[in-house]
Structure 1
């Protein structure tokens, strides 16, 4: 029986990380032709960003993608970063789980797999070596090294094939890799879309991309400020487990458990350590190497009973509202933007994070599907776009749980809207090593919802103002069409010349527009440039023939006012006519009953009544004018109703 057991272990082997990922490349995100190429872009770009920012350099990246055959490409990637010293070049590109990201600090990379994974994929699909040119400064001297190498998968390290030294003029790194079984296109999850989204979250960068067709795309820098470098922060006590404490105790140079706790954990003061000692009755002055598992569990339990300050946020550096807005305006060119940054909170008790959210509406916002514009979600983690696994991501779950109908978006899917969410944390809870989706932690989902609903209310105000502006434009058109008619009719009734009303009408509409734009209404003499402003925050371009009126019903009230004035004038004329009739009656001598017979008196009164044709004609004219005015009023109301019905439909 023992011999059979020994035989079972004859094939017992150890796998290096390189061998493991060679057999499981999908765990690095390399699954599918389009996705694999996008992941290569992702790893190389984020590596360049981190290196440049740590050196205080604004990232400037050049990428060329040349098509050699179907699904066979040559990729050239170049940056202006600080470069890589010669002794680290092959470690960076050929050793799995090696890098400078294993710290409790906010960074794009976390695992030390990115660049080495790209070299592995290239080698697996083409068999061709990688070529790297590194230009760096060492001991105040610029040095350059050109290296050609492959990855030794068995040993998890590089295998040098060629090396050449030279003296460069500036720092930076360039790499050339060949790939098969990958594909470039303009799909939503393609490499081009990845670059586009990267620029929204990194407005301080500049990327020049040459696609396989030779088209050159310039993604310009929207901000000239290098992001502030985050500080490395200590773990928060509430995020510590018993295993963490045992590991720390075994690998510390501290002489006491008390000192270990105070210097290895954030927010751990002397008074807090005293409370832990009081609750657990453990002697914390002893050497950490004597810490037992049961004691570690008691310490963790005591920590959960104590009230702690929130985790420090000095290690979290958000993009910033202004920078996000600049990025969205540069790439999306929207008519409306709104951004919000939440206060730092923690998930799992002790891991601090910050949520940044933004909305862009109109312009080039959203995604194009056929001839239609649809909404899109831009997910980011520490400024890095998450282009895959959208359905399983906490960001998607949070955004879909928002009732968008409350904010005026009845058909969210078919709305030209871009929703931006960025999670800032020293430990982003990714669901896999591919780092394309965030775990649905309740605290993260809650913060995303709150942030997005806040800026959605601003979008609602914008949409309401836009709708009101359209209605006002229609009403203003009616006002402009019929005011001249009213002026002419009034002039005709007053028997005067028609005044030059164009300038007056322009002043009135300009004044109303100024009130709508929140400007000084008394400043009538506005320039043409001012008149062509957009309403609110880029609502709709102003049509010079469709002036915006602040009061929705002002146009109708103006027309009704003019008609009322006409009616009042007619009433006065009619009253005047009656007055004249009475005056004529008074001036006519009364017949003498003694001298004139009854029949003659009647005859004369008949004659007197016939002698007033002018008054009768005036009455007829007034009735006719009144009929005309009533007809005009009905015509105006009918046209106004039709216009508004057209707008609503």
Structure 2
């Protein structure tokens, strides 16, 4: 889902994504996902769908939906592990329709791709068909329907359809006819990295920069020759003229610690693209039609001293929320992507539940016809694990979430 949205937006296409789930037995399913994006060129099909951690999203300081690069390939792997069958992919790209079978060599982490057919076409898009066992289908707050509904809520420019195992068809039509602005990549800020990050950058860019000092000035933001001179004075035992590839962990640790002793200009904030107040209002009314809705958008801030982020929150009360059976529900998002699991370990959940709701005339939050949406926007999301299920508790993030939710709660209080 997230890959389809990203691909469509990058190609300037309004996303149309369909998911069909067929049940073959109690724990046996076939899942078909189809989008109208640009498709995947033949030379990238294996890397995109059959190789773990092979994407281009690692160490890119750009707001993006996925960062761990295990989603699509993880699905292909799980399909093979539970059924022994390859996944099928149909890519329509550059006027050619190509169909493949895909598996992963688990020992080598290499894709095994078999092309089944190739023919001309005027279509564009990607279809992935995969079979799974050891699954359970649920119509709950952690099921496919709710995931797609929340995805539609945070992405009002997309049309999303779902066909469930019992034949039920659900359509979440787009409510705006314009893709969101594309975020752009920024350089990492010195205060937003650790020793491991610094060493990764040194290894990656050592061919382009012969000295650590020049790498720091070119790869990182806000680092000038004068700042490098300050760093040299703070850690005189580190050779800033050595080849970056030769930098050791203790040296990287000393440099990172010295970053914290220097005064820096804040990182660029204009790379953040929220859902937007108007878009959230339109989307909520389109999907839930609440009796009353308040949306707040906080100004950008930084956490860990150098990573830009912002928080937007919405509280929907009564009306369609009550009709949908929603009571005291918290909808968590990171860069427009819904997070359904690991609820209790997330900074969003902990912060929303810590609010004194009785002050806002909501005496029993768990029983009120209310939905609280929080979207965390950043070039780097501090997930608690590779599964991207929850956001880590960081003081600066918690404060912003709380301020955003309390601001929206005051609007609900005035209405009640």
Give the alignment's TM-score, normalised by structure 1.
0.61
- Whole-angstrom CA distance in 1 between matches of 2:409 and 2:271: 29
Q: 2:272 aligns with which of 308, 316, 336?
A: 316
Higher relative CO (Cα under 8 Å, sequence separation at least 6) belongs to 2
Q: 1:458 aligns with which of 407, 411, 414?
A: 411
Q: 2:383 aligns with which of 430, 453, 459?
A: 430
Equivalent residue, structure 2, for 1:229? 182
After superposing the two structures, state which structure 1 stretch, 206-215 or 191-200, moved more. Answer: 206-215
Contact conserved, 2:232 with 2:240, CA < 8 A, in 1?
Answer: no
> Alignment partner of 1:327: what SS?
helix
Equivalent residue, structure 2, for 1:55? 11
Q: Is 1:179–2:135 an aligned residue pair?
A: no
Q: 1:237 to 1:161 in 2, by over 3 A?
A: closer
Equivalent residue, structure 2, for 1:196? 149
Q: Deviation per CA, 1:517-570, whole angstroms, max 9, x where unpaired? A: xxxxxxxxxxxxxxxxxxxxxxxxxxxxxxxxxxxxxxxxxxxxxxxxxxxxxx
Q: State the Cα distance separating 1:387 from its structure 2 match.
A: 0.5
Q: 1:458 to 1:202 in 2, by over 3 A?
A: same
Equivalent residue, structure 2, for 1:261? 216
Q: Is 1:143–2:96 an aligned residue pair?
A: yes
Equivalent residue, structure 1, for 2:335? 382
- Whole-angstrom CA distance in 2 between matches of 1:367 and 1:117: 36
> Alignment partner of 2:320: what SS?
coil
- Whole-angstrom CA distance in 1 between matches of 2:128 and 2:224: 48
Equivalent residue, structure 1, for 2:303? 347
Structure having the larger proportion of residues in strand: 2
Q: State the Cα distance separating 1:278 from its structure 2 match.
A: 4.0
Q: Deviation per CA, 1:317-336, whole angstroms, max 9, x where unpaired? A: 11111111111111110111
Equivalent residue, structure 1, for 2:119? 166
Contact conserved, 1:339 with 1:356, CA < 8 A, in 2?
Answer: yes
Q: Deviation per CA, 1:441-478, whole angstroms, max 9, x where unpaired? A: 11111110011111111111111xxxxxxxxxxxxxxx
Q: State the Cα distance separating 1:146 from its structure 2 match.
A: 0.8
Contact conserved, 1:148 with 1:163, CA < 8 A, in 2?
Answer: yes
- Whole-angstrom CA distance in 2 between matches of 1:281 and 1:161: 56
Gaps in structure 2 of 5+ consecutive residues: none
Q: 1:208 aligns with which of 152, 155, 161?
A: 161
Equivalent residue, structure 2, for 1:408? 361
Q: 1:293 to 1:180 in 2, by over 3 A?
A: closer
Equivalent residue, structure 2, for 1:217? 170
> Alignment partner of 2:321: what SS?
coil
Q: 1:297 to 1:393 in 2, by over 3 A?
A: closer
Equivalent residue, structure 2, for 1:556? none
Q: State the Cα distance separating 1:316 from its structure 2 match.
A: 1.9
- Whole-angstrom CA distance in 1 between matches of 2:190 and 2:113: 45
Q: State the Cα distance separating 1:283 from its structure 2 match.
A: 8.3
Equivalent residue, structure 2, for 1:130? 87
- Whole-angstrom CA distance in 1 between matches of 2:328 and 2:284: 15
Equivalent residue, structure 2, for 1:418? 371
Cα RMSD for the two superposed structures: 2.0
Contact conserved, 2:291 with 2:320, CA < 8 A, in 1?
Answer: no
Q: How does 1:539-578 map to 2 (within 5 A)?
A: none
> Alignment partner of 1:374: what SS?
coil
Q: State the Cα distance separating 1:155 from its structure 2 match.
A: 2.7
Gaps in structure 1 of 5+ consecutive residues: 1-44, 464-649
Q: State the Cα distance separating 1:399 from its structure 2 match.
A: 0.4
- Whole-angstrom CA distance in 1 between matches of 2:392 and 2:112: 38
Q: What is the count of residue pairs matched by the alignment?
A: 412
Q: Deviation per CA, 1:189-220, whole angstroms, max 9, x where unpaired? A: 11111111111111111012122222221111
Q: 1:297 to 1:152 in 2, by over 3 A?
A: closer
Contact conserved, 1:129 with 1:150, CA < 8 A, in 2?
Answer: yes
- Whole-angstrom CA distance in 1 between matches of 2:200 and 2:83: 42
Equivalent residue, structure 1, for 2:241? 286
Based on CA coordinates, which of the two structures has the bigger radius of gyration? 1
Q: State the Cα distance separating 1:160 from its structure 2 match.
A: 3.5
Q: State the Cα distance separating 1:342 from its structure 2 match.
A: 1.3
